Amino acid sequence: MKFGDIAVGILVVAIVLVMIVPVPAAVLDVLLAFNIALSLVILLNVIYAKEALQMSIFPSLLLFTTIFRIALNIKSTTLILGEGKAGEVIKGFGKFVAQDNMVVGFVIFLIITVVQFLVITKGTERVSEVAARFTLDAMPGKQMAIDADLNAGLINESEAKERRKKIQREADFYGAMDGATKYVKGDAIAGIVITVINLVGGLIIGMVMRGEELMVALQSYALLTIGDGLVSQIPSLLISFATGMIVTRAASDSGISDDLKQQMIYNPKVFFIASGFSLLLAYPLATLPFIGLSIIFAVLGFKLMKNEQISQQQVETQIEEHEVEEIRKPENVVNLLEVDPIELEFGYGIIPLADVNQGGDLLDRVVMIRRQLALELGMIVPIIRLRDNIQLSPNEYVIKIKGVEVANGEVMLDHFIAMSPGFVEEEIEGIKTTEPAFGLPAVWITEAQRDKAEMLGYTVVDPPSIIATHLTEIIKAHAHELTGRQEVQTIIDKVKEKYPALVEELVPKVMTIGEIQKVLANLLKEGVSIRDIVTILETLADYAPVTHDTDMLTEYVRQALGRAISKKFIKDKKSSVITLDPKVEQIILDSVQKTEHGAYLTLEPSTTKSIMNSLTNQVQKLMKLGQQPIVLASPIVRLYFRRLTEQAIPGLIVLSYNELDPHLEVQSVGVVSI
């Protein structure tokens, strides 16, 4: 057994022996001094404790000190009544603290006792009761929070066990403190009773047993009694104060001194106001004390203001250093690998178009572009990143798709672009240019020329509309690149809310998200809207069990969307088209080579050249008539012919017979042949 374990038992037995065994006055002086010092040590430990559980032994310590004081009171009473003296400590308190005046000493004793009993002890008792109740009520919620963190993987089993143990210790501590405050209350009452007993008993012994006069007995025993009361009540007051502090401590990561500094002595405005108020009170009240306080508060305020400025500079320096460190960290390179799907960069001269404070509405137009394309093509347009680029010319802008420049243009602020529809009464003066979106010849004109240009038949457009139109056309042309698996998953999740049976049948049992994405990309590449996603998925659910060739599935979907495709590309009920010679179709079919990675054409260069020359002639004839060239082919040939021509004649519309609306009338005005 360790000595520490034995020492506790020895102390408890010694306290009991002090009550029974006669104790000399000199020994009592040592014990009384030790009692005062022990109370002070306990109070200082409570002050510098960061949390209540650091003094979890406090309830037991409270009981120990209370019994120790009672034992000393018994011995001091024995000496006072038996010998008429109680050592130098009690005598010193009676003479020095009470100023050798029993009335003054008695008043001081009453003040200490009343403050301890009615103020500190009463408040501590109530706070302890409420703290114990709230701690017990909060236990189930804290336990559930620990279980939730453990299940989520935020903490491990050992951490959870430690936190549960801490919660149990808190409940035990505050429950014990609720009962231990009764010791303090009882100790205060006992001090008053013991003092009265000493005073009455001393008078009886002095007057009856020793034959002393009333004033002599009162002077002798009253001073010793008051000294004994003060010696007991001062340590008791310190312990009561420590008890109140430990039950009123709020959650904090630092001690009381640090909390006072952080929460009370931090705002210079408070001390400037206090300084001014003290200065105002200096005239009607005591001048020197309030002037001194005013100066102290002012100096403290200026010092705090200076410290605040230094702290602010340190914070700014730390932020800058942190930013530099973040940039230097090797893992931050990962963020640089991200590429924005769509970027619009512009020179500094075009910044006013995107600045709302300068009346620019380019940001609003970008929002409308995303809405417009969602309605027109049914695609989810990614976030469009707008940023200025000082490396560009002042009026230049650049459009990037996945970090690669795909288009650029120039606009002139405070100017309008005027485009001729082909017939105008007269040409208008201006700076000749090319409209960036469609490559049409145009003229830059001033605002003063706008009305005149419109009267002459020109189409007049402002710079923001030029950029917005160009951006829209670029997104349409690259819609198939911008619609990836994640965008398709988002679309399918939205469909699943209303058509769960359709989605569950198709994905992932029959088709993967990647296969569906390839079909949708094929449609968008030819300008076919995928807004009717339900019809597309229904068609895929019908034909995907038969074939997983995404090109063939695309043709089946196009046939299902025939009415929408016809409406989009054929504006009139009667329309002129170009057809393919049956020999050309057969040649194309014979040259199709199918592999595991898809199908491709193996036409001879001379044959390809002959077909393209014939197609070019027929397209030019229709364009001279002012009509949009449309090629009709059989369903099985349409896709391969479209791929054959997309390099030579980009944007050429190639439809199959099965995609035509039955109510439309088409007339072949040319045949592509060899």
* Residue 592 β-bridge partners: 601
Encoding tokens for residue 443?
A: 């003229």
| 27 vs 262 pLDDT, higher one | 27
* Residue 598 β-bridge partners: 595
Encoding tokens for residue 659?
A: 């995609």
CA distances from 105 to 98, 223, 538 (A): 4, 8, 100
Single out the residue of 658, 538, 552 nearest to residue 599, CA to CA: 552
**135, pLDDT greater than 80:** no
pLDDT digits (tens, 9 = 90+) for 437-471: 888 899 999 999 998 888 888 899 999 999 999 99
Which of 42-56, 251-265, 564-578 has the lowest average pLDDT? 251-265
**275, pLDDT greater than 50:** yes
In the structure, what pLDDT confidence band is assigned to residue 655 with cuts at 50, 70 and 90? Answer: very high
| 516 vs 113 pLDDT, higher one | 516
Spatial separation of the C-alpha atoms in residues 485 and 359, rounded to whole Å: 38
Buried b (16+ CB within 10 A) or exposed e, 56-93: bebbebbebbbbbbbbbbebbbebbbeebebbebbbeb
| 490 vs 134 pLDDT, higher one | 490
**535, pLDDT greater than 90:** yes
**210, pLDDT greater than 70:** no
Spatial separation of the C-alpha atoms in residues 172 and 179, rounded to whole Å: 11
- Measured CA angle at 573 (ends 567, 579), to 5 deg: 85
Give the DSSP letter of residue 657.
Answer: G
| pLDDT given for residue 49 in this prediction | 76
Give mean pLDDT, residues 362-380: 89
Spatial separation of the C-alpha atoms in residues 561 and 308, rounded to whole Å: 70
In the structure, what pLDDT confidence band is assigned to residue 98 with cuts at 50, 70 and 90? Answer: low
| 155 vs 411 pLDDT, higher one | 411
- Measured CA angle at 76 (ends 70, 77), to 5 deg: 90
| pLDDT given for residue 377 in this prediction | 92
| 531 vs 79 pLDDT, higher one | 531
| pLDDT given for residue 119 in this prediction | 67
Q: Compute the CA torsion angle 499, 500, 502, 507 (nearest 10 deg).
A: 130
- Asked whether the beta carbons of 236 and 27 are under 8 A apart, the reply is no
Single out the residue of 256, 226, 258, 253 nearest to residue 244, CA to CA: 256
In the structure, what pLDDT confidence band is assigned to residue 219 with cuts at 50, 70 and 90? Answer: low
- The gap from C-alpha 253 to its chain's centroid, in whole angstroms, comes to 23
| pLDDT given for residue 333 in this prediction | 57
The predicted model scores a pTM of 0.54
Spatial separation of the C-alpha atoms in residues 194 and 228, rounded to whole Å: 9
- Asked whether the beta carbons of 624 and 672 are under 8 A apart, the reply is no
Write out the E strands in 510-608.
574-580, 592-595, 598-601
3-state secondary structure of 333: helix
Cis check: omega of the bond before 635, within 30 degrees of 0:
no
Q: Compute the CA torsion angle 62, 68, 73, 79 (nearest 10 deg).
A: -170
pLDDT digits (tens, 9 = 90+) for 35-57: 888 888 888 888 777 777 777 78
443 Cβ neighbours under 8 A, 6+ residues apart: 417, 418, 419, 427, 428, 429, 430, 431, 432, 433, 458
In the structure, what pLDDT confidence band is assigned to residue 291 with cuts at 50, 70 and 90? Answer: confident
Single out the residue of 597, 585, 587, 602 nearest to residue 638, CA to CA: 585
| pLDDT given for residue 515 in this prediction | 92
CA distances from 16 to 68, 315, 444, 541 (A): 9, 60, 109, 93
Single out the residue of 415, 35, 395 nearest to residue 239, CA to CA: 35
| pLDDT given for residue 500 in this prediction | 92
**151, pLDDT greater than 50:** yes
Q: Side-chain half-sphere of 176: how many Cα atoms within 13 Å?
A: 19
Mean pLDDT of the chain, nearest integer: 82
R_g over Cα of the chain: 48
Spatial separation of the C-alpha atoms in residues 376 and 289, rounded to whole Å: 82
Encoding tokens for residue 434?
A: 């090319």
Give mean pLDDT, residues 92-116: 69
| pLDDT given for residue 521 in this prediction | 94
In the structure, what pLDDT confidence band is assigned to residue 220 with cuts at 50, 70 and 90? Answer: low
How would you classify the pairing of strands 574-580 and 630-633? Answer: parallel
Q: What percent of the chain has pLDDT over 70?
A: 85
Give the DSSP letter of residue 528.
Answer: -
**252, pLDDT greater than 60:** no
pLDDT digits (tens, 9 = 90+) for 588-602: 888 888 777 777 788
Single out the residue of 233, 225, 232, 234 nearest to residue 91, CA to CA: 225
- Asked whether the beta carbons of 180 and 243 are under 8 A apart, the reply is yes
Spatial separation of the C-alpha atoms in residues 371 and 365, rounded to whole Å: 10
**501, pLDDT greater than 70:** yes
Spatial separation of the C-alpha atoms in residues 139 and 171, rounded to whole Å: 8
How would you classify the pairing of strands 384-388 and 342-346? Answer: parallel
What strand order describes the sheet that includes 665-672?
653-656, 630-633, 574-580, 665-672
Which of 24-28, 89-93, 274-278, 526-530 has the lowest average pLDDT? 89-93
In the structure, what pLDDT confidence band is assigned to residue 286 with cuts at 50, 70 and 90? Answer: low
Spatial separation of the C-alpha atoms in residues 577 and 565, rounded to whole Å: 15
- The gap from C-alpha 364 to its chain's centroid, in whole angstroms, comes to 27
In the structure, what pLDDT confidence band is assigned to residue 251 with cuts at 50, 70 and 90? Answer: very low
How long a stretch of residues is the chain? 674
| 384 vs 287 pLDDT, higher one | 384
| pLDDT given for residue 48 in this prediction | 77
